[in-house]
């Protein structure tokens, strides 16, 4: 029998340098469903393994905001044209520069070790990339903030929010069209749902747009049960998870981590909370918007007001 679950959204906060590796481990282990392996000391080794394997998108979930002198503006502009995820904001004498850990590694790959040096000095040497001694910036480089510390006054381009959501594969397909965000998803290549660890069953997201008790819902459920039988049979026949997964439906539950800056979150809410978006996607995005509002991220107040009738409607679904 398939297990039916409902969608769920929570924020994964990141608010200190000490927690960067732990945050990345927490996000990354979603892919392998190995959260049970997290210990007080497991993060360093996990990050090392991720970087070694080339699974670098996981380190995109941690963002830092640096402060440097405005004389570096031209250099930062040049870097921003060469790497992804580098944003900056210019003030009279200072320049704020934000990026995720992957952005900074890519800067290092260009041969510059300004950020690597800072990582080595701050217990984050695991992210340092190479021994190049070339600096691209002049003057001071110091940390201004992490992810989204100040919920009220900070800038939309520089600040990022990470969310963990339980949704389905079709919702994941839709939201990953948002190219400026970063994603990690439970791997259906890695997770073999015939194993006891997964309850030897398929976990399916309850659809928002089919009403329980109707013939349409019963037909959908029958299809899910059949699909489970075929999946389990393929595993019995000796198929690996990456073969059996070819049976999996759009409704299969997906554990997803999503990180985006505030500007992109606003863009996504405008598109995906709207009536034109798929109801499963609307459900998680309206929940995320409500959560941001409830957490005191005041920059989302206008959007919350705009979508409040929809939030109230979807709370009941």
Ligand X SMILES: Cc1cc2nc3c(=O)[nH]c(=O)nc-3n(C[C@H](O)[C@H](O)[C@H](O)COP(=O)(O)OP(=O)(O)OC[C@H]3O[C@@H](n4cnc5c(N)ncnc54)[C@H](O)[C@@H]3O)c2cc1C
Sign of CA dihedral 290, 295, 300, 302: positive
Q: Which is nearer to ligand X, 67 or 267 (CB)?
A: 267
Two structure tokens written together for 10: 């929570």
> What is the size of the binding site for ligand X (CB under 6 A)?
8
Site for ligand X in 271-300 (CB under 6 A): 271, 276-277
Stretch that binds ligand X, among 51-59, 101-109, 171-179, 301-309 (CB under 6 A): 171-179
Listed in sequence order, the residues at least 6 apart from 311 whose beta carbon sits closer than 8 Å to its beta carbon are 286, 289, 290, 304
Site for ligand X in 216-275 (CB under 6 A): 267, 271
Tell me the per-residue interface mask from 129 to 168 with ligand X, x by CB under 6 A, - otherwise: ----------------------------------------
Figure out which of the listed residues 144, 151, 164, 178 binds ligand X, where binding follows CB under 6 A.
178
Q: Which is nearer to ligand X, 112 or 183 (CB)?
A: 183
Tell me the per-residue interface mask from 179 to 208 with ligand X, x by CB under 6 A, - otherwise: xx----------------------------
Q: Which is nearer to ligand X, 144 or 267 (CB)?
A: 267
Minimum separation from the CB atom of position 179 to ligand X (A) = 3
Q: Which residues partner with 47 through β-bridges? A: none
Q: Cite the beta strand spans of the chain per DSSP E.
A: 3-5, 8-11, 63-69, 87-90, 94-100, 141-146, 160-168, 182-185, 203-205, 253-261
Minimum separation from the CB atom of position 268 to ligand X (A) = 6
Cβ-contact 165, 258 below 8 angstroms? yes
Stretch that binds ligand X, among 39-47, 92-100, 176-184, 194-202 (CB under 6 A): 176-184
Q: Find, among 156, 146, 159, the residue nearest to 266 by Cα.
A: 156
Minimum separation from the CB atom of position 269 to ligand X (A) = 11
Minimum separation from the CB atom of position 275 to ligand X (A) = 9
Residue 80 near ligand X by CB under 6 A? no
Q: Find, among 151, 150, 100, 148, the residue nearest to 127 by Cα.
A: 100
CA gap 110, 132 in Å, rounded: 10
CA gap 310, 159 in Å, rounded: 26
Q: Please give the residue ranges that form the binding site for ligand X (CB under 6 A).
A: 177-180, 267, 271, 276-277
């Amino acid at each position: 029998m398939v297990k039916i679950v409902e969608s769920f959204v929570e924020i994964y906060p990141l608010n200190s340098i000490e927690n960067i590796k732990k945050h990345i481990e927490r996000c990354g282990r979603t892919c392998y469903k190995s959260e049970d392996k997290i210990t007080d000391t497991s993060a360093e080794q996990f990050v090392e393994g991720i970087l070694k394997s080339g699974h670098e998108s996981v380190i995109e979930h941690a963002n830092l905001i640096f402060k440097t002198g405005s004389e570096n503006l031209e250099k930062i502009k040049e870097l921003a044209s060469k790497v992804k995820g580098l944003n900056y904001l210019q003030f009279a004498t200072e320049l704020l520069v934000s990026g995720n850990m992957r952005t900074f590694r890519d800067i290092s790959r260009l041969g510059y070790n300004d950020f690597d040096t800072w990582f080595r000095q701050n217990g984050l040497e695991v992210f340092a990339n190479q021994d190049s001694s070339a600096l691209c910036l002049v003057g001071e480089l110091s940390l201004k903030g992490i992810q989204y510390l100040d919920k009220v006054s900070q800038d939309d381009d520089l600040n990022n929010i990470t969310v963990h959501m339980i949704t389905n594969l079709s919702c994941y397909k839709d939201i990953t069209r948002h190219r400026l965000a970063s994603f990690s998803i439970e791997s259906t290549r890695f997770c073999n749902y015939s194993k006891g660890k997964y309850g030897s069953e398929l976990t399916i997201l309850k659809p928002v747009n089919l009403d329980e008790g109707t013939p349409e819902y019963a037909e959908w459920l029958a299809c899910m049960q059949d699909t489970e039988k075929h999946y389990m049979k393929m595993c019995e026949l000796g198929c690996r998870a990456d073969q059996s997964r070819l049976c999996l439906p759009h409704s299969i539950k997906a554990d997803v981590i999503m990180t985006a800056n505030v500007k992109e979150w606003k863009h996504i809410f405008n598109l995906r909370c709207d009536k034109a978006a798929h109801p499963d996607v609307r459900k998680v995005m309206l929940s995320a918007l409500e959560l941001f509002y409830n957490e005191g991220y005041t920059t989302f107040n206008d959007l919350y007001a705009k979508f409040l009738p929809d939030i109230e409607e979807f709370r009941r679904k």
